[in-house]
Amino acid sequence: MKKKRIVAVILSLTMMLSGAMATGVYADELDGEIKIGLSCAITGNFPLAGQRTKEGVDLALEEINANGGVLGKKLVYTVEDDQNTQTTAVNVVTKILNEDVCAVIGPHTSGNAAATSELYKNAQIPFLTGGSSPKLAEMDNPYFFRIRPSDTINGQVAAKYAVETLEAKKIGISYNNNDFGTGGRDVVIEALEEAGIDYVAVGHNAGDKDLTGQIMQLMSENVDCIISWTDDAEVVLTARQLYELGMDVPVIASAGIVMDQVLNLLEPEYVEGWYAVTDFVSTNDDEVVKGFVDNFNDKYGYNPELYASSYYSATYVLADAIERAGSTDPEAIREALTKTSELKLPEGLYTCDESGDMVHGCVVAEIKDKVPTMIDYVTVE
Amino acid sequence: MRKSLKGAGILLLLVILVVVPIVDKNTYHHIVLCQTLVNIVVVTGLNFITGLTGQMNMGTAGIMAMGAYSAALCSTKFNFPIIVGFIVAILMGLIVGKGLGYPSLRLKGVYLSLTTIGFSEITRLVLTNWVDLTGGTMGVQNIPWINLFGNKLDTSFKIYYFYLVIAILVTIASYRIIHSKWGRVFKAIKDNVEAVDASGVDIAKMKILAFTLATVLGCFGGAMYAHMMGYINPTTFTQDLSANYLAMMMIGGIGTVGGSVLGAIVITILPEVLRFMENYYWLVFSTIALLFAIFLPNGIVSLFTGNKLLKRFGRTEKSFKGEE
């Protein structure tokens, strides 16, 4: 069963290579349409994320339809811009739910996923989101499915890697004092306490311009590994000041660091040899990831990142579920989504658990000359 | 004649507002209409301080957040009846109004704007970081529906009519205030503070009053928003939101109730109407807003009050002719 699916995915990827001609031919043969919704941030404060999301979904749909569609029908979507704001997300999700869709992808951020959760529950339509806050799983919404690893998993993997592979004896945790940072900190601390490893945690606030004090504290505590859990601007600052203050210990950073928009703010030597725990890196030489990266690059001319990979994978997860459900009834699709198991996609291995979480591991990457290179895929229970 | 025309216009608007949700069963349209009503309440409030009194308040988001969180926390954390939440929101508005009103006595122009922005940002940061009380960035979930005499307002269709009544009451009250002594003093403060002072009016009291009207309506609007959405988080209440309310007031028409109502309607509904343009809708919306700002400096409402329309441009044309 597992093999069959891997074969199916690889097949559909190779189908893509045969080009746009095939798309036209097969698409015409498909009888009828299956409509899904997509809510992403095309305008607002995070438009790049929305664009990559849409590109990922576009590519997946193209491949799926070129490969015979779903249940012999063409899979299509209706896309709306949620501007990454709560009010607009509620609006567009209501709009999409009015359009006779059988399942919806998005909205992306945890806050917006929480804001729209009730709407999906009331409409009894399953939705797949990439919001990574561990609290989403506590909403107790049977229609909620998460297609990315939650922050808990990233934190556990970071701690596990520091202890088991880097063999750290005393770990410094540098965290952002916001929900994301403190959430990560708590997970890491819990894992370290379980392993009986000594640690020291120092916090900073979003928007801080100087971390000398925090870094000096870590130095004086003689930590031999640092886990940095913070946002984009602050991780840049952390990297620069660690380098300037001459603190030469291995660093494991949260996902943001592997994105080009962050790396472009840094000199290569600042982050040389850093580790990152993240969903996805394009330098992975796994067959499935490689095929996806090549196809994405062929279509758009640049490498996919986390959003493209997450939502490309989400589309396949959904297509797989509809196929198994054998109908476009949302309840049947929900049922099938909960039974998703061992589905190999660029974003990881998808197995649904009882809280709707589908990905249970993440990538550890090492940054060499500003290029994050995959070194391990770590799963946690 | 004009008066009866105006009356007919308002009646027509009312009939449309009442009938549309019955004819149109689309819940998406209902929810957008509900938001419009919330925005009408907030903008009507903002109009008192910024539109009439001329004190630049850029902290509407913070004010709304205070109201929304007051109401939401009352009903979720402390299990008070929803009406208590609304009353607490109003009290919060009074407190914030007094608090923000005092600095406005000494600060002018850009410094007052900065103070209000500061207030708004501090509010947002506190709401984000006080995780135990507010739930942090994950916000407050499962805010209960309004229960009105045993009727649960659990769809946007039902909420709409309740909020419509509130919005109408707020609009009438606001109209009465503007055309009362208070309203005239507010306008006078904007035009010539020294003259008002010389006439023996207590400026301090009036400025704080204007601020309080704005914050009470702002907080009330926030509470309405919270109970309509059922979920709030701090990222909603950013500076963008404050700017959006200013835009509603200015595009609709500064200093008039009609302007506030029209502005709220246009700025809330227009982007949703333009969605068919897909990737370009926000560009088109912004362009339209800009054109309104340039060609209707007195707001959309000046289209209906007649004489002020394009006056500025008419005059320029004449002066050009004179030069020839």
| Residues on chain A touching B282 (C-beta within 8 angstroms) | 43, 81, 83
Q: Are residues A46 and A94 in the same domain?
A: yes
Whether residue B176 contacts residue B184, with contact meaning beta carbons closer than 8 Å, is answered with no
Task: Determine, yes or no, domain membership for A71.
Answer: yes
Q: Are residues A56 and A178 in the same domain?
A: no
| Residues on chain A touching B136 (C-beta within 8 angstroms) | 178-179
Distance of CA A97 to the CA centre of its chain: 24
Task: Determine, yes or no, domain membership for A11.
Answer: yes
| Residues on chain B touching A118 (C-beta within 8 angstroms) | 142, 230-231
Distance from first CA to last CA of chain B, Å, rounded?
40
What pLDDT does B102 receive? 86
Query: What sign has the CA pseudo-torsion A342, A344, A349, A352?
Result: negative
Q: What is the DSSP-derived secondary structure letter of residue A231?
A: -
* Tens digits of residue pLDDT in A295-345: 999 999 988 888 899 999 999 999 999 999 999 999 999 999 999 988 899
What pLDDT does A30 receive? 67
Chain-chain contact of B137 with A80 (C-beta, under 8 angstroms): no
Helix H or strand E encompassing A52: helix A47-66
Range of the domain at A75: 2-149+285-350
**pLDDT (average), residues A252-271:** 87
* Tens digits of residue pLDDT in A96-112: 999 889 999 989 888 88
Q: How far is CA A319 from CA A68, A288, B63, B90, in A?
A: 11, 17, 45, 50
**Cα separation, A340 vs A354, whole angstroms:** 11
Q: Are residues A223 and A245 in the same domain?
A: yes
Task: Determine, yes or no, domain membership for A254.
Answer: yes
Whether residue B61 contacts residue B239, with contact meaning beta carbons closer than 8 Å, is answered with yes
Q: Which residue of A has its CA nearest to B234?
A: A111
User: Which two tokens mark A243?
Assistant: 């380098």
User: Which two tokens mark A242?
Assistant: 């660690």
Task: Determine, yes or no, domain membership for A156.
Answer: yes
Q: Are residues A297 and A369 in the same domain?
A: no
Whether residue A23 is predicted with pLDDT greater than 50 in this model: the reply is no
Q: Helices A306-325 and A287-300 sit at what angle, rounded to 10 degrees?
A: 110
Q: Omega before A330 cis (within 30°)?
A: no
* Tens digits of residue pLDDT in A58-70: 999 999 999 988 9
Whether residue A20 is predicted with pLDDT greater than 70 in this model: the reply is no
**Distance of residue B123 Cα from the nearest chain A Cα, in angstroms:** 15
| Residues on chain B touching A86 (C-beta within 8 angstroms) | 229, 231-233, 235-236
What pLDDT does B105 receive? 84
The rounded radius of gyration (Å) of the Cα atoms in chain A is 21
Q: What is the DSSP-derived secondary structure letter of residue A357?
A: B
Chain-chain contact of A95 with B141 (C-beta, under 8 angstroms): no
Angle at B260 between CA B255 and CA B263, to 5 degrees: 125
pLDDT interval class at A172 (50, 70, 90): very high
Nearest to A90 among B26, B31, B141 (CB): B31
Q: Are residues A8 and A83 in the same domain?
A: yes
Interface test with A, best of B26, B28, B276 (most A CBs within 10 A): B28
User: Which two tokens mark B204?
Assistant: 């301090």
Written as one string, the DSSP assignment of B140-198 is: B--PPPEEETTEEE-SHHHHHHHHHHHHHHHHHHHHHHHTSHHHHHHHHHHH-HHHHHH
**Distance of residue A43 Cα from the nearest chain B Cα, in angstroms:** 7
Residue partners of A83: CB distance under 8 A and separation at least 6: A41, A42, A43, A44, A89, B282
| Residues on chain A touching B229 (C-beta within 8 angstroms) | 86-87, 90, 115
Residues of chain A above pLDDT 70, percent: 92
Interface of B to A at Cβ within 8 Å reads 26-28, 31-32, 35, 128-129, 131, 136-139, 141-142, 156, 229-233, 235-236, 240, 272, 275, 279, 281-282
Nearest to A86 among B131, B233, B281 (CB): B233
**pTM for the predicted model, two decimal places:** 0.82
pLDDT interval class at A21 (50, 70, 90): very low
Nearest to A110 among B138, B156, B236 (CB): B138
Nearest to A98 among B27, B229, B230 (CB): B27
* Tens digits of residue pLDDT in A208-221: 889 999 999 999 99
Interface test with A, best of B69, B236, B242, B284 (most A CBs within 10 A): B236
Task: Determine, yes or no, domain membership for A357.
Answer: no
Whether residue A161 contacts residue A170, with contact meaning beta carbons closer than 8 Å, is answered with no
Q: Are residues A52 and A123 in the same domain?
A: yes
What pLDDT does B255 receive? 87
Chain-chain contact of A87 with B35 (C-beta, under 8 angstroms): yes
What pLDDT does A226 receive? 95
- Return mean pLDDT, chain A: 87
**Cα separation, A170 vs A180, whole angstroms:** 23
Query: In this structure, what CATH number is given to the domain that contains residue A325?
Result: 3.40.50.2300
Q: Are residues A144 and A156 in the same domain?
A: no
Q: What does the domain layout of chain B look like in residue ranges?
A: 24-238
Decide: helix, strand or coil at residue A225: strand
Chain-chain contact of A179 with B131 (C-beta, under 8 angstroms): yes
**Distance of residue B122 Cα from the nearest chain A Cα, in angstroms:** 13
User: Is the ipTM beyond the 0.90 threshold?
Assistant: no
More confident residue, A23 or B272: B272
Whether residue A17 is predicted with pLDDT greater than 60 in this model: the reply is no
Nearest to A90 among B229, B279, B282 (CB): B229
What pLDDT does A277 receive? 92
Query: What sign has the CA pseudo-torsion B269, B270, B275, B281?
Result: negative
Q: Are residues A169 and A188 in the same domain?
A: yes
Q: Are residues A57 and A180 in the same domain?
A: no
Chain-chain contact of B282 with A43 (C-beta, under 8 angstroms): yes
Residues of chain A above pLDDT 90, percent: 50
**Cα separation, B109 vs B120, whole angstroms:** 17
Task: Determine, yes or no, domain membership for A356.
Answer: no
Count Cβ atoms below 10 Å from residue A354 Cβ, excluding itself: 8
Which residues share a beta bridge with A361?
A379
Q: Are residues A139 and A181 in the same domain?
A: no
| Residues on chain A touching B124 (C-beta within 8 angstroms) | none
Q: Are residues A115 and A156 in the same domain?
A: no
| Residues on chain A touching B275 (C-beta within 8 angstroms) | 80-81, 95
**Cα separation, A347 vs A361, whole angstroms:** 10
Chain-chain contact of A111 with B281 (C-beta, under 8 angstroms): no
- Please state the domain count of chain A: 2
Cβ burial, residue B137 (10 Å; 0-12/13-18/19+):
buried
More confident residue, A138 or B96: B96
Angle at B104 between CA B99 and CA B105, to 5 degrees: 105
Chain-chain contact of B138 with A135 (C-beta, under 8 angstroms): yes
Decide: helix, strand or coil at residue A197: coil
Give the helix ranges, DSSP H, for A221-329: 232-244, 260-263, 268-271, 287-300, 306-325
Residue partners of A7: CB distance under 8 A and separation at least 6: none
Q: Could you say which residues of chain B have pLDDT below 70? A: 1-2, 306-324
**Cα separation, A119 vs A133, whole angstroms:** 19
